[in-house]
Amino acid sequence: MAALARREPPHYTYKRKVYVGKTKNPNAGIVGQMMYYLSEARLRGKIRRITDALDSDPVDVPSLKDLSITADGYIAVDLRCKVWSKLLNVNTLEISRNKDKKIDNSELEQFQVHKYWRQVNLDVDRSHRRFPSEMRASRRRTLQEQLVRIIMRVLCRNQDLHYYQGYHDVAVTLLLVAGEELATALLEQLSLHQLRDFMEGSMEKTTKMLAFLHPIIEEADPELREFLVRSEVGQVFALSWLITWYGHVLKDFSTIVRLYDFFLATHPLMPVYFGAALVIRRRSEVLAGECEMSYVHHLLSRIPDDLPDYVEELITTAHSLFRKFPPEKLSGAVDRYLKESITVAKHKQFIRELGDQRPDSVLRQRKKQLALYTNNELEVSQNFQSATQTNPYMKLAVWTLTASVGTMAIYVLSTAKRWI
């Protein structure tokens, strides 16, 4: 165990999109190779800052949140699992303890009688597009079975949550990153906090959340907002963006998880601000077209294929919009949403709870000490029982002590009665 404790921190691998000037190419010239090595050094430095924040006691959540905004997010799958767990206040040690439990037939029976069982299976059956195209069909079916279990566990444990179409897009992203057990815990926390308003019995709060889109655009670009109002396009084109955190409309998985880094670390309304940033970036394309509802709706509802190339720019813009025009300063229907939203109401308390988390190294040490203490206590108890059973003198001593305590108790009780 001591050797394990002294083991070097893991080497995190990562896959990045190929940018011009960032590839190690002997023919790229001196400038191109310098850019490549600078990029690699930046990523290594960022990995070090993430691991330092995770190892702080308590966990440095504010630093983790800041790192979600800078380029490449949390970079690697292993790091994402650790950081997402801290951002959602999930104890990964408890997850590993339950990992080897077998699938319970009674759990499956509970799933099958649930009111959303059929709809969940229908949506998951149609989710082929969300899995890598090169994945074997047998592997995909296994993951789809896991996806159904993840969703149904959350719904069965929380009967006040209502399933919505698009929820499985969020769940499959967590599954592909974190695996079944951890994804279940992450999805449950996400459902009780950031996604809570989407899981009401009606779409009322979701619609009110979408109502933030136009006021944000109006503050940042009045001309564009006026054009959108004249076209009567509304904001329904952004519905799938919001309720799936763009998982349903983006093809590039690395871009999806990059956005999840950003959204998990920021305000529940940040997906709306990101949508506003995307619309504003396309202002020239929008204003150059016909000011007519069906045309504008069709244009905006189609996410550009090249979005992964400028996703970092959009993240920076969305964060800037949030700081300039926070939800509390936007007026109209959005005021009513802020008062009625369960998601927003619980967010501040949830942020305070995140600050109390201990690093995994401390939690592992506590778990080890608890196991050692429990084993020692059990051993002492067993030795004592063995001694009393085999040693007649020990038995006599225990009986004498018990009789003495009983006699003293009777004496105290009788004395007390005289004073009553």
* Distance of alpha carbon 420 from alpha carbon 418, whole angstroms: 6
pLDDT of residue 334: 62
pLDDT digits (tens, 9 = 90+) for 36-55: 666 788 889 999 999 999 99
Distance (Å, whole) CA 191 – CA 211: 21
pLDDT in tens, 46-99: 999 999 999 998 999 999 999 999 999 999 999 999 999 999 999 988 886 555
pLDDT at 344: 59
Residue range 177-201: average pLDDT? 96
Kindly tell me the burial class for residue 269, based on how many C-beta atoms sit within 10 Å of its own C-beta (0-12, 13-18, 19 or more). buried
What does residue 16 show for φ and ψ, rounded to 5 degrees?
-115, 155
Q: What is the rounded CA–CA span in Å between residue 42 and residue 186?
A: 29
Mean pLDDT of 376-394: 57
Whether residue 396 is predicted with pLDDT greater than 60 in this model: the reply is: no
CATH 1.10.8.1310 at 30-89, yes or no: yes
Q: How far apart are CA 17 and CA 253, in angstroms?
A: 11
- Residue that wins the pLDDT comparison between 384 and 284: 284
Domain 203-348 has CATH 1.10.472.80: yes
Give the range among 140-144, 338-342, 397-401, 413-417 with minimum mean pLDDT. 413-417
Q: What is the pLDDT of residue 184?
A: 97
User: For the chain, what percent of residues have pLDDT higher than 90?
Assistant: 61
CA distance 105 to 100: 15
Query: Which of 1.10.3720.10, 1.10.8.1310, 3.30.420.40, 3.40.50.720 is the CATH number of 97-198?
Result: 1.10.8.1310
Give residue limits of the domains in the chain: 30-89, 97-198, 203-348
30-89 and 203-348: identical CATH topology: no
pLDDT tens-digit readout, 310-360: 999 999 999 999 999 998 888 665 665 456 556 656 665 666 676 667 676
Q: Is the peptide bond before 268 cis (omega within 30 degrees of 0)?
A: no
